[in-house]
């Protein structure tokens, strides 16, 4: 079946419009498993370049990566190899997200089961949840105690609220370092 009488611009399978400026893949990123830079590429190290020297690349990426210190006749290329940011596909190209983890929550609430407060000789109700945990001991071991379990204190373990905690010493997804270059000619 032949498609005829198109009234919209051609789009690829991901609904992106074709761009005549990138016909030669200028502005495309190349990823290498070692520190090499092809002859028609520059390392994505945040270099400031003269527009007159890299007109085609500037016509594709423009001033998108400028940080404010560039002259009017200059532009900056991405600094992916220096910033060590992970690259993530998506529709909001260029959006930067800062590192983060889900909130750690827990609750110690004086409206639940009873416990004996040794210091004041009183019984207090409590609810313990989330990343908090009660540390209990045998109340019968105390002088003049009636027996049973007594809350002695609390501890905190974030892995109780989400198992992502405790699996690493950094905020780090599994990764492998590569060298990223941008095609300029």
pLDDT in tens, the chain (185 residues): 555 555 555 555 555 555 555 567 899 999 999 999 999 999 999 999 999 999 999 998 999 999 999 999 999 999 999 887 788 888 887 787 777 777 777 777 765 445 455 444 555 556 777 777 777 665 555 555 555 566 667 778 888 777 778 776 667 677 788 999 999 99
DSSP of the chain, one letter per residue? -------S--B-TTSPBP-GGGTT-TT-EEEESSS---TTEEESS--EEEGGGSHHHHHHHTTTT--S---TTEEE---HHHH-PPP---SSTT-------PPP-EEEEEEEEEEEETTTTEEEEEEEEETEEEEEEEGGGSTT---SEEEEEEEE-GGGT-TTTTS-SSS--S----EEEEE--
At residue 77, the pLDDT reads 95
pLDDT at residue 112, as a whole number: 46
- Report pLDDT for 120: 47
Task: Read off the pTM.
Answer: 0.57
């Amino acid at each position: 079946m032949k498609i005829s009488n198109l009234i919209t611009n051609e789009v690829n399978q991901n609904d992106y419009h074709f761009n005549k400026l990138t016909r030669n893949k200028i502005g495309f990123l190349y990823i290498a498993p070692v520190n090499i830079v092809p002859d028609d590429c520059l390392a994505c190290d945040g270099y400031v370049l003269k527009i007159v020297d890299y007109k085609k690349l500037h016509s594709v990426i423009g001033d998108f990566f400028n940080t404010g210190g560039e002259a009017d006749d200059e532009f900056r290329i991405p600094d992916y190899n220096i910033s060590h940011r992970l690259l993530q596909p998506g529709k909001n190209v260029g959006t930067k997200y800062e590192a983060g983890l889900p909130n750690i929550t827990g609750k110690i609430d004086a409206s639940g089961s009873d416990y004996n407060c040794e210091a004041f000789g009183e019984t207090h109700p409590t609810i313990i949840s989330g990343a908090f945990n009660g540390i209990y001991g045998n109340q019968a071991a105390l002088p003049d105690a009636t027996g049973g379990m007594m809350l002695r204190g609390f501890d905190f373990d974030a892995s109780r609220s989400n198992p992502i905690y405790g699996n690493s010493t950094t905020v780090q997804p599994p990764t492998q370092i590569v060298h990223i270059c941008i095609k300029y000619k």
